[in-house]
Structure 1
Amino acid sequence: MLLAVNILGLLVFLAIGFLFSKDRKAINWKSVGIMVVLNLFLAWFLTAVPAGRAGVQAAADGFTWIVDISAEGTKFAFGDWYNVKSLNFICSSLMPILMIVPMFDILTYIGLLPWVIKWIGRGLSFLTGQPKFESFYAVEMMFLGNTEVLAISGLQLRSMRKERNLSIAMMSMSCITASIIGAYIEMMPAQFILTAVPVNIVNSLICASLLNPVKVTPEEDTIEKVGEDGEKAPFFSYLGDSILGAGKLILIIIANVVAFVALAKLIDGFLGFIPAIGGFKLSLESILGICMWPFSWLMGLNLHDTWLLAQNMGLKLVTNEFVVMGKVTGEINSFTPHLRAVLTVFVTSFANFSTLGMVLGAFKGLVDDENNNYIAKHVGYMLLSGVLVSLLSAAFVGLFVW
């Protein structure tokens, strides 16, 4: 019965993309169908097949190894403050970013990462029938981050129609960055974090194809620029900038988590002055839970788990994934396998209001006023796309974990 509800949920989420489409007649159903089948295969292979699970476990062990190595720098810097038995959020989850981000930047500097991105992007475009740049962009986001890829794609964005730029903006709401996976797997089940990564990529293309179908002619289907032009900076100058960038990223995450948690507590404080109605006391989580309850139920959960998932889904959308991960990290292993899978996959994305602001800010400095204004008028589509990607990814993976 619950599996049937999960299947129904997957169909409903796809139907929402169709209902809110800007041009239903232009939807390329063959491409959408191929991508749906691809994600069903990925979710099945990575969660239900021994070889797939072994591959995911090997990747998780690799990230854990990298995180453990990065701890050596943290121990040196913090000395006696570094207590393995009582590590705080900053030391356990954020400090590894100081090594992982430069590691990925070094791979970019020597050309290995761009080569990997190029071939994965070409394969994805060939398999799904999606335009080349959109496919490259989906893969690049996974490795480099949404605003970072936007920054190096200015020439391409300025050469494209505003409708395609909107698709890129919508896709930017659903990515995660490989350099931050090390932080995620310290708080949530690594298997489902790593499964969510490729599933999110394909779902970002599915949602853009449904909500904003754009026919791209062969003449338009070109890559103007993927990467940076000009002379390379000296290696150690490049590395220094990367380390400083990683430090700024940590500060941004800390600032966001502190602010959002405190603001949520403040809102709960004000709501606490409202008398309970029929024994039901208002709180931010309860309000968000009510809003997200129908979507949570469609994941195929019992009523107790539906309410728990709905509250965390809503909290993630108005704050960020780190707030929810920090909240449930101590208890998630006690959840049922299905709830553990769908919750972990749903929160593994940047889809929230703060990302909306970052993406809009990036486009403002990269495209002309016509393109920028067009994107700004469709922020609802950007947010809807990000939410739908998270819902679809959770529903795909949930089908195979019970």
Structure 2
Amino acid sequence: MKYLIGILGLLVVFGLAYLASNNRKEIKYRPIIIMVVIQVLLSALLLNTKFGLIIINAIASVFGKLLSYANQGVEFVFGGIANKGSMPFFLNVLLPIVFISVLIGILQHFKILPFIMKWIGLVLSKINGMGKLESYNAVASAIVGQSEVFITVKKQLDKLPPNRLYTLCASAMSTVSMSIVGAYMTMIEPKYVVTAIVINLFGGFIISSIINPYTVTDQEDILEVQTGHKQTFFEMLGEYIMDGFKVAIIVGAMLIGFVALMAAIDNVFEMLFGLSFQHLLGYVFAPFAFIMGVPASEVVAAGGIMATKLVTNEFVAMMSLSDMASTFSAKTLGIVSVFLVSFANFSSIGIVSGAVKGLSEKQGNTVARFGLRLLYGATLVSVLSAIVVSFIL
């Protein structure tokens, strides 16, 4: 039965993407089929094999060790502020982003990350039927983040037509940056975080290939990566420390605002209608939860968490999932966890268009015009990844 529901889910996702396609005659079906098969195989490898367990445990242990180092710095500065035994979210989940950001900066400074991103992107371009720039951008988005990635391709930004720009922005919204992966792993199981990151990479190409199909000519298929101005090692350290701290502060501020707003809206809805806003949204998203493979008895609750992610952000939704984890089956936890690992939410429209506008005002305005279409595609990527995982769980 789960396979029938999974196939139905795939057909619904592809159908919704097809309805939004701007050039249905250009859709290349062969790369799409290949990438869906790759998604299923990678999910099976990571979630259902001993080798996958070794990989997940290795990655989790690396991030666990990094977070322990980060916590030493946090403890040195903020030790004694929190009550003994407590786990303040800002100190234990957000501030370690600063240390992870520093490590990314070091790998960037010594040209290790640009080399990895460029060559993985070149390999992916042979699979996905897209250009080298699009493939590089997807990998880079998953490592350096949805805002910073555009800086690395700013040489080509002004030259890009709207269709290629859409694919770049869709990749940025469908993935998550490596700097906050450690924060996610403190809230949901690491195996779902790693699996989602890997299959979202292909999911972004799949949905973009349907919604926004085009062919890149050999003359257009050029990759120019901007490495930035030359800095000394300690200048770079200072910049990435401040960048990481800004991210932590911004996420913290957004959480304060969104959590407070959700509490207020929930209270108003409970007074007026006798049920919370999240519960009401759960009914709207329940059909999507069903085609993702969530058991019928849990679709409304799961749908509420999915909706929370869309209207607020993934951190708020992960907190809700943590609070309700004991009421969900293991399968539902896995499916919803994978769905949550992306930047597909309304606030990301502003973040992505703002990042592009900071480098090119004309292209930033272009991104703002197709912002809702971007979010539509990125949300379908999250649903697709969850469906793929449902075949394995």
TM-score range, shorter chain: over 0.9
Tell me, in whole angstroms, the C-alpha distance in 2 between the residues paired with 1:87 and 1:255: 18
Aligned ranges 1:53-202 → 2 under 5 Å: 53-82=53-82, 85-202=85-202
* Cα pair distance change 1:265/1:67, threshold 3 Å: same
Within the candidate set 359, 376, 382, 1:390 is matched to 382
Tell me, in whole angstroms, the C-alpha distance in 2 between the residues paired with 1:187 and 1:357: 25
Tell me, in whole angstroms, the C-alpha distance in 1 between the residues paired with 2:231 and 2:270: 55
| Native 8 Å contact 2:290 2:299 kept in 1 | yes
| Native 8 Å contact 1:188 1:332 kept in 2 | no
| Native 8 Å contact 1:211 1:381 kept in 2 | no
**Alignment match, 1:344:** 337
Provide the secondary structure at the position in 2 that maps to 1:86. Answer: coil
- Compute the displacement of 1:334 (Å): 6.0
Instruction: Give the counterpart letter for 2:46 in structure 1.
Output: L
**Alignment match, 1:46:** 46
Tell me, in whole angstroms, the C-alpha distance in 2 between the residues paired with 1:51 and 1:91: 34
Within the candidate set 320, 323, 343, 1:327 is matched to 320
- Compute the displacement of 1:380 (Å): 2.3
Q: TM-score, normalised by structure 1?
A: 0.94
Deviations 1:75-121 (A, max 9, x none): 21122335563212112211211211101111110111111111211
**Alignment match, 1:244:** 242
| Native 8 Å contact 1:4 1:300 kept in 2 | no
- Compute the displacement of 1:195 (Å): 0.8
| Native 8 Å contact 2:141 2:171 kept in 1 | no
- Compute the displacement of 1:368 (Å): 5.3
Instruction: Give the counterpart letter for 2:386 in structure 1.
Output: A
More deviation, 312-321/113-122: 113-122
Provide the secondary structure at the position in 2 that maps to 1:315. Answer: helix
Deviations 1:28-57 (A, max 9, x none): 111212211111111111111221122112
**Alignment match, 1:292:** 285
Tell me, in whole angstroms, the C-alpha distance in 1 between the residues paired with 2:326 and 2:128: 36
Q: State the Cα RMSD in Å.
A: 1.6
Alignment gaps of 5+ in structure 2: none
**Alignment match, 2:207:** 207
**Alignment match, 2:5:** 5
Provide the secondary structure at the position in 1 that maps to 2:174. Answer: coil
Runs of 4+ in 1 over 6 A off after TM superposition: none
* Cα pair distance change 1:102/1:333, threshold 3 Å: farther
- Compute the displacement of 1:304 (Å): 2.2
Provide the secondary structure at the position in 2 that maps to 1:80. Answer: coil
Instruction: Give the counterpart letter for 1:157 in structure 2.
Output: L
* Cα pair distance change 1:73/1:373, threshold 3 Å: closer
| Native 8 Å contact 2:349 2:368 kept in 1 | no
Instruction: Give the counterpart letter for 2:253 in structure 1.
Output: A
Tell me, in whole angstroms, the C-alpha distance in 1 between the residues paired with 2:289 and 2:144: 30
**Alignment match, 1:227:** 226
| Native 8 Å contact 2:293 2:335 kept in 1 | no
The answer on 1:380 being equivalent to 2:363 is no
Tell me, in whole angstroms, the C-alpha distance in 2 between the residues paired with 1:199 and 1:378: 24
* Cα pair distance change 1:3/1:40, threshold 3 Å: same
More deviation, 358-367/303-312: 358-367
Q: TM-score, normalised by structure 2?
A: 0.96
**Alignment match, 1:355:** 348
- Compute the displacement of 1:11 (Å): 2.4
Instruction: Give the counterpart letter for 2:109 in structure 1.
Output: Y
| Native 8 Å contact 2:130 2:216 kept in 1 | no
| Native 8 Å contact 1:141 1:176 kept in 2 | yes
The answer on 1:257 being equivalent to 2:255 is yes
- Compute the displacement of 1:328 (Å): 2.5
| Native 8 Å contact 1:170 1:381 kept in 2 | no
Instruction: Give the counterpart letter for 1:320 in structure 2.
Output: N
Instruction: Give the counterpart letter for 1:380 in structure 2.
Output: L
| Native 8 Å contact 1:122 1:135 kept in 2 | yes
- Compute the displacement of 1:330 (Å): 4.5
Deviations 1:238-258 (A, max 9, x none): 111111111111110110000
- Compute the displacement of 1:372 (Å): 4.1
Provide the secondary structure at the position in 2 that maps to 1:81. Answer: coil
Tell me, in whole angstroms, the C-alpha distance in 2 between the residues paired with 1:183 and 1:237: 26
| Native 8 Å contact 1:158 1:368 kept in 2 | no
Tell me, in whole angstroms, the C-alpha distance in 2 between the residues paired with 1:87 and 1:290: 33
More deviation, 301-310/240-249: 301-310
Tell me, in whole angstroms, the C-alpha distance in 2 between the residues paired with 1:128 and 1:257: 36
| Native 8 Å contact 1:171 1:385 kept in 2 | no
| Native 8 Å contact 2:339 2:383 kept in 1 | yes
Tell me, in whole angstroms, the C-alpha distance in 2 between the residues paired with 1:52 and 1:182: 19
The number of aligned residues is: 393
Within the candidate set 270, 273, 276, 2:271 is matched to 273
More deviation, 289-298/123-132: 123-132
- Compute the displacement of 1:332 (Å): 2.5
Provide the secondary structure at the position in 1 that maps to 2:158. Answer: helix
Identity %: 34
| Native 8 Å contact 2:354 2:364 kept in 1 | no
